[in-house]
Structure 1
Amino acid sequence: MQVGNKSYRMEADIPGRVPVFPLAGALLLPGAQLPLNIFEPRYLAMFDDAISSHRMIGVIQPAFENAVACCGPVEDLCRVGCLGRITSFAETGDGRYVITLGGICRFRVIEEVEAGRKPYRICGISPFLGDLEASDDGADVDRAALLESFKAYLEANNLEADWSSVERASTVTLVNSLSMMSPYGPAEKQALLEADDLKTRAETLIAITEIALARDSDDYGHVLQ
């Protein structure tokens, strides 16, 4: 996995402990980018420490109702997050950072470790090493079905999209971008994150979209084909 100027190929490239940024409803995926606006003092400190060391931050959701949470002392976090590398940042002049994280790999939280005098949380993690291989080109994804569900969602909500850009996007970019941009809640975002592969993620996104459309429609029997 190439993220910014750094390659991540093996477990030794991933630190065993990383600062974590709990964000409800946020989704970062391997190979994708997530813009963030950082303003809380504890996360400003986290960013300063990360940029001066390995440039990595773990994005993870707080545990929500019916979520599978971590064990023991980190039961208030979901068990799976995604590790991101800071690939760009800018100071706003009013005490904020605007940064971009490039997704490296998903991780499972093992434990929360003593942060000392740091105001942010640090967790021991186990990386999903398969994410570093970046071998899934999306050939098994039903791209037509994904685009059809996306189009139906846009029409149902009176929205438009730049279809020329959509059609030019690779299947990998399309699946991950639509997953990250989707307006769904924490449970749906976590399901998309934890999908086993790109094909499963696409199928999950289509299913979530069908459910949303059916729920908002007078015709509950209508299902996208």
Structure 2
Amino acid sequence: MDALPDLPLFPLPDVVLFPGIALPMYVFEPRYRALLARVVASGEPFGIVRIAVPRSASDRPFHERVARVGTLAHVREVRPHGDGTSSIRVVGGERFLIVEFDLTQPYLSARAALSPLPAGPERAPELAGAVLANLMRLNPQQRSDLDGLRDADPLLVASYAATVLPLDPADREALLAAPDLDARLEGLLVRMPAEARQLN
């Protein structure tokens, strides 16, 4: 796995970013303004990880309440505001695993390792088709949008479904951490609402 020796992290409560998915963000805290200034100047991505345990539920240090799996966020648009805050749009890149946190920066950072999702035993196109069929049954009014995904990379289908389905954040994190693409797609099928489920 490729090493990321100094990856700046932007933890978000109950947010799991998937590859290929766009995410609008509002940056207002001074520490994350510093993070944004760094990545805009360097062109490097930052990492988005889920805050898995809220402060109200634990007295553990912040970094111990953050997930160890995340997704690289590539900045695609920055709109600065007069008060120093910014509205940005990022797109999810590769998955990574945190090896060790770095607490020396104003913002949380880590030594991490890229962990691209490997292909499964070649069932991904079939499974992606089943996921789309279920989504169409669940949201027939979006059939035209979903039709546009029929020829898409199964990884993008999985990312889209994991983002739009009404899933618990812990389930989204489990899907992000899946061992391969087939397992992620199978996990989506299992988690489909009962009215849309079609496991074949």
TM-score range for the pair, normalised by the shorter chain length: 0.7 to 0.9
Alignment pair present for 1:123 and 2:106: no
Q: Contact 1:87/1:102 (CA < 8 Å) preserved in 2?
A: yes
Superposed CA RMSD in Å reads 3.1
Alpha-carbon distance in structure 2 between the residues aligned to 1:86 and 1:92: 17
What is the correspondence of 1:48-67 to structure 2 with a 5 Å cutoff? 48-64=37-53
Alpha-carbon distance in structure 1 between the residues aligned to 2:49 and 2:74: 14
1:223–1:85 Cα change, 3 Å: closer
Alpha-carbon distance, 1:138 to partner? 9.8
Q: Partner residue of 1:224?
A: 198
What is the correspondence of 1:3-18 to structure 2 with a 5 Å cutoff? 11=2, 14-18=3-7
Q: Partner residue of 1:90?
A: 79
Q: Which amino acid aligns with 1:153?
A: L
Q: Partner residue of 1:80?
A: 69
Alignment pair present for 1:196 and 2:179: yes
Q: Contact 2:49/2:71 (CA < 8 Å) preserved in 1?
A: yes
SS at match of 1:88: strand
Alpha-carbon distance in structure 2 between the residues aligned to 1:33 and 1:197: 22
Q: Contact 1:74/1:111 (CA < 8 Å) preserved in 2?
A: no
Alpha-carbon distance in structure 1 between the residues aligned to 2:15 and 2:51: 10
The TM-score, its normalising length taken from structure 1, stands at 0.70
Alpha-carbon distance in structure 2 between the residues aligned to 1:110 and 1:171: 28
Q: Contact 1:79/1:109 (CA < 8 Å) preserved in 2?
A: yes
CA deviation digits over 1:110-138, x for unaligned, max 9?
2222324x2x212222222x45xxx7499
Q: Which amino acid aligns with 1:108?
A: L
1:153–1:64 Cα change, 3 Å: farther
Residue of 58, 82, 93 corresponding to 1:104: 93
Alpha-carbon distance in structure 2 between the residues aligned to 1:73 and 1:40: 16
CA deviation digits over 1:171-208, x for unaligned, max 9?
33222122123332211110111012222111111111
Q: Partner residue of 1:3?
A: none
Q: Contact 1:58/1:83 (CA < 8 Å) preserved in 2?
A: yes
Residue of 144, 148, 169 corresponding to 2:152: 169
Q: Contact 1:25/1:189 (CA < 8 Å) preserved in 2?
A: no
Q: Partner residue of 2:27?
A: 38
Alpha-carbon distance in structure 2 between the residues aligned to 1:28 and 1:223: 24
The TM-score, its normalising length taken from structure 2, stands at 0.77
CA deviation digits over 1:127-183, x for unaligned, max 9?
22x45xxx749952223321222123225xxx5342442335343322212212333
Q: Partner residue of 1:144?
A: 129
Q: Contact 2:131/2:161 (CA < 8 Å) preserved in 1?
A: no
Alpha-carbon distance in structure 1 between the residues aligned to 2:83 and 2:152: 36
Q: Partner residue of 1:5?
A: none
Q: Which amino acid aligns with 1:24?
A: P
Alpha-carbon distance in structure 2 between the residues aligned to 1:138 and 1:167: 20
Residue identity over aligned pairs, in percent, reads 26
* Segment of structure 1 superposing worse, 192-201 or 47-56: 47-56
Alpha-carbon distance in structure 1 between the residues aligned to 2:191 and 2:51: 21
Q: Which has the higher strand share?
A: 2
Q: Partner residue of 1:185?
A: 168
Alpha-carbon distance in structure 2 between the residues aligned to 1:154 and 1:23: 28
Q: Which amino acid aligns with 2:148?
A: S
Q: Which amino acid aligns with 2:14?
A: G
Q: List alignment gaps of at least 5 residues for structure 1.
A: 1-9, 66-71
Q: Contact 2:99/2:112 (CA < 8 Å) preserved in 1?
A: yes
